[in-house]
Amino acid sequence: MSVPARSLPLLLGLLACGCPVSAMATWSIVACDPDGSCGVAVATHNLAVGASVPAAQARVGALASQFETRPAHGPQGLAALARGQEPSAALAGLIAADDGEDGDARDRQIGLVAADGASAAYTGSHAQGATWAGALQGEGFSVQGNGLVGPRVLEEMRARFLATTGALDVRLMAALEAGQAAGGQRIGAMSAALLVRTPEGGWADVDLRVDASPEPVRELRALLDRRQAHQGMILAERLSARGDRVGAEREVMAALARSHDWDRIWRRAARLAMQQGERALAIERLAVFQRLNPVWAREELRDPLYAGLADEKRVAGWR
């Protein structure tokens, strides 16, 4: 059955909701860092949570609209924050303006944080009935969820977020994992997402989604690891170009450890070793690359960069 294009936003909104009748639920964290980065980490037992629940804008704030998701809450709430409204006032405006499309204010759970660190949350009466439901706020963040195994889910998310150091994406991911480890939703999870908008924008932003998986939080972590591996290889290449081979190798090793056997990372590591004149190390890394993607490895070895390996019998078998 085909779905009209005009119906897709509504369909995605329904997919991400946490209606008690259909036994759906969600848990999330919204947060901003002093550098102006703002983001959301969220998981749910439904398809494609990242398509409709999270919203964020650098130097403005972040919002999660869940249980009976209303995608319009994201841009509306961020616009209110951008106009200078406090999160509590912006939240009150969203609830007051709820016209009952796809449920009403009783069916909403919203977490909202501003770039200055103020936060607020709302859980409607119907959402409160999805045992267990609630929210916790602190300076720069709010955690909220419904249909959870208990309050410990949010308590552990808060504790992990506050105890974790590093960039906002790392801290949000750690909080989501803590919620999963504490039991998450009573019925499990199906999708997860991590969204961070940074002042730099572009490639500095993070927008990772696992739309359908038996273990979405674990797979989201793997996606973030791979992203960090890619960034690490870029840094390694820059360090090598500046003559810092020790620093470059340190970054390469860290990237390979996070790669989850991503063939692209092993390829770049092999190329960097060749550029540095490390033939044995290049062959070692090429061996892994060839195992992961023999077709691409065959094409890669046609590059003149590898002319110095023409006499290597082991490499000849990969050509």
In sequence order, the 6+-apart residues with CB closer than 8 A to the CB of 151 are 132, 134
Task: Please state, as a whole number, how many other Cβ atoms lie within 10 Å of the Cβ of residue 167.
Answer: 17
Per-residue confidence (pLDDT) for residue 152, from 0 to 100? 94
- The answer to whether the CB of 35 falls within 8 A of the CB of 55 is no
pLDDT at 319 over 90: no
**How many Å apart are CA 70 and CA 124, to the nearest integer?**
13
Per-residue confidence (pLDDT) for residue 222, from 0 to 100? 98
Q: How far is CA 117 from the centre of its chain?
A: 21
Angle between helix 216-241 and 245-258 (nearest 10): 160
Q: How far is CA 286 from the centre of its chain?
A: 30
Per-residue confidence (pLDDT) for residue 99, from 0 to 100? 76
Per-residue confidence (pLDDT) for residue 178, from 0 to 100? 97
If you write DSSP's letter for every residue of 201-236 in order, what string do you get? -GGGSEEEEE-S-SSHHHHHHHHHHHHHHHHHHHHH
**Which position has the higher pLDDT, 5 or 74?**
74
CA distances from 261 to 84, 108, 255 (A): 46, 41, 10
Q: What is the pLDDT of residues 170-229, one digit of tens each?
A: 999 999 999 999 988 888 889 999 999 999 999 999 999 999 999 999 999 999 999 999
Cis geometry, peptide bond prior to residue 266 (ω within 30 degrees of 0): no
Q: What is the pLDDT of residues 96-139, one digit of tens each?
A: 988 777 788 888 999 999 999 999 999 998 888 878 999 999 99
Q: What is the pLDDT of residues 264-314, one digit of tens each?
A: 999 999 999 999 999 999 999 999 999 999 999 999 999 999 999 988 989
Strand ranges (E), the chain: 26-32, 38-44, 54-57, 61-67, 108-114, 119-123, 134-138, 141-146, 191-197, 206-210
Q: pTM, whole model, 2 decimals?
A: 0.88
Q: What is the pLDDT of residues 5-37, one digit of tens each?
A: 433 443 344 344 433 333 357 999 999 999 999
Q: What is the pLDDT of residues 236-276, one digit of tens each?
A: 999 999 999 999 999 999 999 999 999 999 999 999 999 99
Per-residue confidence (pLDDT) for residue 220, from 0 to 100? 98
